[in-house]
Amino acid sequence: MTWDDLFVQGFERVDRQLLDAAALAGHLVPAGSMFAFLAAHRAEVFPDADYADLFASPGVGRPSLPATQMAAVLTLQALYDCSDREAAEAARFDVRWKVAIGASLDDRGFDPSSLVYWRNRIARTVTEDRVISTVDPEARHTHKSPEARRDGYRAHVAAEPETGIITGEKLTKAAGPLNSDPAVAAEFVAADVAGDGDVSQDEQNRPAWYADSAYGTGDLRDAIERAGHRAVIKPTPLRVPVADGFTVDDFTVDEQRGTVHHL
């Protein structure tokens, strides 16, 4: 039995509680602070629909803590670098946290272990196209590596390597397969063919497309080949599956004879 089998989705109350922290003490929270932002916008940034798949069908289990509140707690926890116990205590005793998450002044909060459950479940089912900004709803998370993360958009540029003349450009959402580097590059190839233009010339007078390994998908290579062009794309470095093991470059494959030889 999993955690989502035990709980149905919980929701914040529509009506304000008698001792609602935002109603009684919201004016004490500094304007422009994260506390004020979450108090006003947590339901927009963390809509309930984004978390529906974490729970059992209605009527099967007991209600969970509201996703909008717990997502706000996790946000503040990350911002202030709190431990689970410190975050739980802040949600119970700190008026700013109570205002931010929509709790009442006499709310007892939750057990610190609840943050472990929520962190493990959100990590497993992150919505790929989630809205990350209330003022710029088209912005998305993007990253090329775990170390290089950005929020916003993805810019794509094609240029003639010798002159630097830009032959194609596009600004897309940062997330989604249709906005990936190779997908947009395929659009540049199609546009170049339609315009009968050349990006570069190789020794056989065939247009050549130069790119790094991020563009080395089969679909893009196929699009370039079908256009009668040549793909000069840096291959993805081969990784050894096990320590001191082999890669495909360590073997010679003879498809006619159906044999594989170690070099």
The domain segmentation of the chain, as residue ranges, is 3-124, 136-141+150-263
pLDDT of amino acid 127: 57
% of the chain with per-residue pLDDT over 90: 25
CB 46 within 8 A of CB 100: no
- Mean pLDDT for 183-193 is 90
% of the chain with per-residue pLDDT over 70: 78
Is pLDDT at 201 greater than 80 in this prediction? no
Q: Which residue has the higher pLDDT, 259 or 52?
A: 259
Rounded Cα–Cα distance for residues 96 and 29 (Å): 6
pLDDT of amino acid 183: 93
Model confidence at 202, pLDDT cuts 50, 70, 90, reads very low
Rounded Cα–Cα distance for residues 13 and 22 (Å): 14
pLDDT of amino acid 95: 94
- Which of 2-11, 33-42, 110-119 has the highest average model confidence (pLDDT)? 33-42
Q: Which residue has the higher pLDDT, 203 or 248?
A: 248
Beta strands in 46-148 (DSSP E): 62-63, 140-143
Give Cβ neighbours of residue 56 (< 8 Å, ≥ 6 apart). 4, 5, 6, 7, 8
Rg of the chain taking only CA atoms, in angstroms: 26
pLDDT digits (tens, 9 = 90+) for 124-154: 545 566 676 667 777 877 766 656 677 788 8
pLDDT digits (tens, 9 = 90+) for 229-254: 999 998 877 777 777 788 877 888 88
> How would DSSP label each residue in 150-198?
EEEEEEEEEE-TTT--EEEEEEEESSSGGGSHHHHHHHHHHHHHHTT--
- C-alpha dihedral (182, 185, 187, 193), degrees to nearest 10: -130
pLDDT of amino acid 96: 94
Work out the mean pLDDT of the chain and round it to a whole number.
81
Tell me the CB-side half-sphere exposure of residue 54, using CA atoms within 13 A: 22
> Residue 86 corresponds to which tokens in the numbers above?
């410190």
pLDDT of amino acid 9: 66
Name the DSSP class of 180: S
Model confidence at 98, pLDDT cuts 50, 70, 90, reads very high
Is pLDDT at 258 greater than 50 in this prediction? yes
- Mean pLDDT for 53-79 is 77
Rounded Cα–Cα distance for residues 74 and 120 (Å): 12
Is pLDDT at 53 greater than 70 in this prediction? no
Is pLDDT at 171 greater than 80 in this prediction? yes
Q: Residue 9, Cα to own-chain centre: how many angstroms? A: 23
CB 179 within 8 A of CB 195: no
